[in-house]
Copies of this chain bind each other. A is one copy, B any other.
């Protein structure tokens, strides 16, 4: 993990935070936000930084302010699977758990708002609305995990890649209207492969096929354009 010398002591102005009304902070009053800002620290990480290790003690929680974080699990022999992606304004960390169940890594450059373990847990105990919001996020993550199990277990490689592109398009620009979408992939081909249970080569071939079929255009390596979302959706098998 990269040392974040320049980040270690940035005060946080929760009231003017860009995710102020989203995520867990939306459940907090002005007073509570003020109290919270005494504990929180803004930190930046660059793509590839490991934020927490699988089976390591859990030290703090963090809210994603900007960027994408990947949650991975690894088998002894090195086979890896991405088991979740977190976007702003998700909270990282399992409530009341002492140990990480997954490894947490910055998939892109990210801004996080760190909250010490005890501070968040205290606040959850005294604020049922906050507890309820965290429950809602956890249920949403469970739904996403189960949706992804269908993709992993029952979809073809072509459907998997299309489903992934749709997932990214949806998350990076949730308010988009009309049929057109364009975005930068926050993940490398290797990461996409780890997410989809495929190899790099298969991901690459399926992307080329989607391009050849006119479903997407690959403007730059990472920059994708989707002329008609409905056409992409039709490739997802669901």
Contact = CB atoms under 8 A, between A and B. Distances in A.
A147 B238 CA distance: 23
Nearest to A80: B154
B150 A149 contact: no
B136 A96 contact: yes
Contacts of A142: 94, 138, 141-142, 145
Contacts of A134: 135
B150 A148 contact: no
Contact of A149 (B81, B135, B139): B81
Contacts of A141: 142
A54 B146 CA distance: 13
A56 interface: no
Contact of A75 (B81, B136, B149, B154): B154
A153 B196 contact: yes
Q: Which of A83, A101, A146 has the most C-beta atoms of chain B within 10 angstroms of its own C-beta?
A: A146
A163 to B, nearest CB: 11
Contact of A73 (B75, B80, B147, B197): B147
Interface of A: 71, 73, 75-77, 79-81, 83-84, 94-97, 101-102, 125, 128, 131-132, 134-136, 138-139, 141-143, 145-150, 152-155, 196-197, 237-238
